[in-house]
Amino acid sequence: MLYGEQPFAMAAIPGLDLSRLIALEVSPVLAKKVIGKEDVSVSAIIQRLGNSDWVRQGIRFLEHTDEQCPFCQQEIPHDFEKDLADYFDETFEADSKSVTDLRTKYFQLSDELLIQARGLLASECTHCWR
């Protein structure tokens, strides 16, 4: 033998299947603008300021303030809480949940793929060091 060992057939390295990840990336809900109901009095300013997450988080403070604004402490209109509830209607909540679920799935799947990739690196590359 002139040049070391006989060449040998290497097992094909299985590819990573990214199809499920890619499928999530094109989910219709990602193309959707998740905003509240448009014909509610609070909707114009929320949409202009783009602060719907902030407002939504603040709603829980309203439950403890007896019609006082938790921010400026002035009295708030009686129907304000109802307006907010109307703005963040079922469609909004359902769409928000879809986005959150998708995010969770995406991270789970990426973690799985990362583990697979690390596994491949650890096992198959032993050939390369001969």
List 54, 61, 71, 107, residue binding Zn ion (CB under 5 A): 71
DSSP per-residue codes, 72-126: T--B--TTHHHHHHHHS-HHHHHHHHHHHHHHHHHHHHHHHHHHHHHHHHHHHGG
Task: Determine if 59 is a binding residue for Zn ion (CB under 5 A).
Answer: no
Task: Determine if 69 is a binding residue for Zn ion (CB under 5 A).
Answer: yes
Task: Determine if 31 is a binding residue for Zn ion (CB under 5 A).
Answer: no
Q: Give residues with Cβ within 8 angstroms of 110, minimum separation 6.
A: 21
Query: CB under 5 A: which stretch of 10-18, 46-54, 61-69, 119-127 binds Zn ion?
Result: 61-69
- Minimum CB distance to Zn ion smaller for 71 or for 107: 71
**Cα end-to-end distance, the chain, whole Å:** 16
Task: Determine if 61 is a binding residue for Zn ion (CB under 5 A).
Answer: no
Q: Which residues bind Zn ion (CB under 5 A)?
A: 69, 71-72
